[in-house]
Chain A
Amino acid sequence: MTKKDLNYLAPAGLEPLLNILVEYGEKARLLAGGTDLIPAMHKDKLDPKVTTLVSLKRTALGYIHERDGNLVIGSATTHTDVATSPLVRTKAALLATGSGAVGSLQIRNVATIGGNVCNAGPSADTSAPLMALDAQLVAASKRGRRVVPVSQWYLGPSRNTLLPDEALVEIVIPGLPPRTGTHYQKFSPRSYMDLAWVGVAVVVTLDHKLKRCEDVRIGLSAVSPSPMRAIKAEAILKSVEISEDLIDRAALAASEECNPNPRSRRVPAWYRREMVRVLTKRGFLEAMRLASAAV
Chain B
Amino acid sequence: MLSITLNVNGISRKVDVEATTTLLDVLRDRLGLLGTKKRCEAGDCGACTVILDGRAVASCLILAVEADGRKVLTVESLSNASGELSPLQKAFIDKGAVQCGFCTPGMLMSAKALLDRNPHPTEDEIREAIAGNLCRCTGYAKIVEAIMEVSRRG
Contacts and interface: CB of A to CB of B under 8 A. Distances in A.
Interface in A29-62: 31, 33-35, 38-39, 41-42, 53, 55, 57
A277 B59 CA distance: 40
Contact of B20 (A4, A35, A55, A191): A4
B21 to A, nearest CB: 10
A34 B61 CA distance: 7
Contacts of B133: 104
B43 A35 contact: yes
B147 interface: no
B66 interface: yes
Interface in B1-57: 2, 18-20, 22, 41-44, 46, 49, 52, 55-57
Given A103-B132, A105-B131, A39 B55 contact: no
Given A4-B18, A8-B2, A107-B43, A55 B66 contact: yes
Contacts of B57: 106, 109-110
Given A41-B20, A110-B57, 11 more contacts: A3-B20, A4-B20, A8-B65, A38-B63, A104-B43, A104-B133, A105-B113, A106-B43, A106-B132, A107-B43, A110-B62
10 contacts: A4-B18, A34-B62, A53-B20, A80-B55, A104-B131, A105-B128, A105-B132, A106-B58, A109-B55, A192-B131
Interface of A: 3-4, 6-8, 10, 31, 33-35, 38-39, 41-42, 53, 55, 57, 80, 103-107, 109-110, 191-193
